């Protein structure tokens, strides 16, 4: 049985490693992961002892196999299901935060006592009356519940959840839940978080040598809308069906469309007939090919300022989604669109990118660290 805090860190490791994997980093050392996670290398090595797979003294750890093992430990074999109770502002915010983010961990239903909310669909998740709670939880075999109800209702609902088979509760209410031995409770209490922050903000000793670069934050500018037609668009994707569907949509709208079924020929095609826009699949034959092509395109002086629209999808290997916010920041591309993509979305994004002034093309990526 792995201790609580170790699990915490294993989750962080997995996220970091997934990002590294996307960026093509195939091996890593304990000190690298330690630095990224903000802890010591000894801690990392000790934590990784929880898993079977070993590193080797000279070569360190293999990113991919560690991610696989972490996935096995943290998520197990089957899909995991969760429910949410309390579809207020916070509940809705959490639903939309998770929507589609972790396909392996799915919030199958939301519950609320308010009859005006029941029946609606929030972030792809049906809102049901509390009377359905027991039956729904049992039917799905959900083990996890997210509790976003007022403190006064929390205990009653927690008891019902446990009775229905829930084994872990993330409790956002201020109530201290009483549950049987063996049920996991994670209290996330905003009031206490704020009070703690106030305390430490006041108290922590005036940092020896605080000299952070000041300067106001510059908001990320949204490209302004222009319009232009009869442009040439190059689609690079290894799935022929996908290519053909995009071609149909784009040609119908009056664009000229070129296609390539792999990165190599895509690059070649781009060099011989410079397109006005490139649509690039992020996950081709290996998980990072799309990224390499993006870098190669930016390295070519002639193609540097061609906007790139990157198509993102779920990695079937670990059921983790490419995180535009987190991972996209490093990539020299101008827009991300999720697959499968709705024709409207595709056209709107294409139109926007074609209108982008050249100085707003993202040539370097904007690494955050």
Partner DNA sequence: TAGATTGTTAATCGATTAACAATC
Contacts with a copy of itself in 2-61 (CB under 8 A)?
4, 7-8, 11-12, 14-15, 36-38
Stretch that binds DNA, among 57-65, 176-184, 202-210, 244-252 (CB under 7 A): 57-65
Stretch that binds a copy of itself, among 43-51, 59-67, 216-224, 299-307 (CB under 8 A): 216-224
Size of the site for DNA (CB under 7 A): 24
- Distance (Å, whole) CA 350 – CA 84: 37
The yes or no reply on residue 148 touching DNA (CB under 7 A) is no
The yes or no reply on residue 254 touching a copy of itself (CB under 8 A) is no
Residue 60 binds which entry of a copy of itself, DNA, none, with Cβ cut-offs from 5 to 8 Å by kind?
DNA
What is the residue whose two structure tokens read 């991610």? 67
Q: Is the dihedral of CA 107, 111, 117, 119 positive or negative?
A: positive
Q: Residue from 66, 82, 125, 257 that binds a copy of itself (CB under 8 A)?
A: 82
The yes or no reply on residue 6 touching DNA (CB under 7 A) is yes
Residue 45 binds which entry of a copy of itself, DNA, none, with Cβ cut-offs from 5 to 8 Å by kind?
DNA
Q: Are 105 and 78 in contact (CB under 8 A)?
A: no
Structure tokens at 26: 């195939």
- Distance (Å, whole) CA 333 – CA 324: 11
Question: How many CB atoms within 10 Å of residue 106?
Answer: 18
The yes or no reply on residue 204 touching a copy of itself (CB under 8 A) is yes
> Distances in Å between the alpha carbon of 321 and those of 18, 42, 132, 317?
9, 30, 31, 10
Question: Crossing angle, helix 263-272 and helix 289-299, to 10 degrees?
Answer: 20
Q: Is the dihedral of CA 74, 83, 317, 258 positive or negative?
A: negative
Size of the site for a copy of itself (CB under 8 A): 108
Residue 175 binds which entry of a copy of itself, DNA, none, with Cβ cut-offs from 5 to 8 Å by kind?
a copy of itself
Give the x/- contact pattern for a copy of itself in 95-114, rule: CB under 8 A. -xxx--xx--x-------x-
Residues that bind DNA (CB under 7 A): 3-6, 29-31, 39-43, 45-46, 48-49, 54-61
């Amino acid at each position: 049985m792995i201790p609580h805090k170790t699990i915490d860190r294993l989750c962080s490791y997995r996220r970091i490693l997934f990002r590294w994997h996307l960026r093509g980093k195939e091996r890593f050392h304990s000190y690298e992961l330690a630095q990224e996670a903000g802890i010591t290398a000894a801690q990392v090595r000790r934590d990784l002892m929880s898993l079977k797979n070993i590193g080797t003294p000279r070569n360190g750890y293999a990113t991919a196999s560690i991610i696989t093992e972490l996935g096995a430990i943290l998520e197990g074999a089957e899909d995991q299901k969760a429910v949410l109770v309390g579809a207020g502002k916070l509940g809705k915010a959490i639903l939309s935060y998770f929507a589609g983010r972790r396909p392996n961990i799915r919030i199958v239903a939301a519950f609320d006592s308010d009859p005006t909310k029941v029946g609606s669909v929030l972030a792809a998740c049906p809102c049901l009356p509390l009377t359905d709670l027991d039956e729904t939880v049992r039917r799905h075999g959900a083990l996890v519940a997210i509790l976003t109800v007022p403190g006064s209702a929390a205990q009653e609902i927690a008891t019902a959840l446990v009775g229905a088979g829930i084994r872990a509760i993330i409790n956002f209410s201020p109530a201290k839940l009483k549950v049987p031995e063996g049920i996991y409770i994670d209290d996330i209490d905003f009031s206490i978080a704020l009070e703690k922050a106030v305390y430490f903000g006041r108290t922590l000793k005036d940092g020896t040598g605080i000299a952070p670069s000041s300067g106001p934050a510059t908001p990320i500018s949204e490209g302004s809308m222009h319009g232009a037609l009869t442009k040439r668009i190059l689609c690079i994707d290894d799935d022929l069906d996908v290519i053909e569907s995009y071609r149909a949509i784009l040609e119908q709208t009056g664009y000229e469309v070129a296609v390539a079924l792999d990165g190599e020929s895509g690059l070649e095609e781009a060099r011989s007939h410079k397109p006005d826009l490139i649509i690039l699949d992020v996950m081709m034959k290996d998980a990072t090919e799309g990224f390499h092509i993006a870098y190669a395109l930016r390295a070519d002086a002639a193609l540097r300022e061609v906007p790139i629209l990157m198509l993102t999808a779920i990695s079937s290997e670990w059921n983790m989604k490419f995180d535009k916010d987190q991972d996209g920041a490093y990539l020299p591309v101008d827009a991300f669109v999720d697959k499968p993509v709705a024709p409207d979305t595709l056209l709107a994004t294409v139109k926007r990118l074609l209108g982008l002034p050249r100085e707003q093309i993202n040539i370097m990526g904007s690494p955050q660290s």
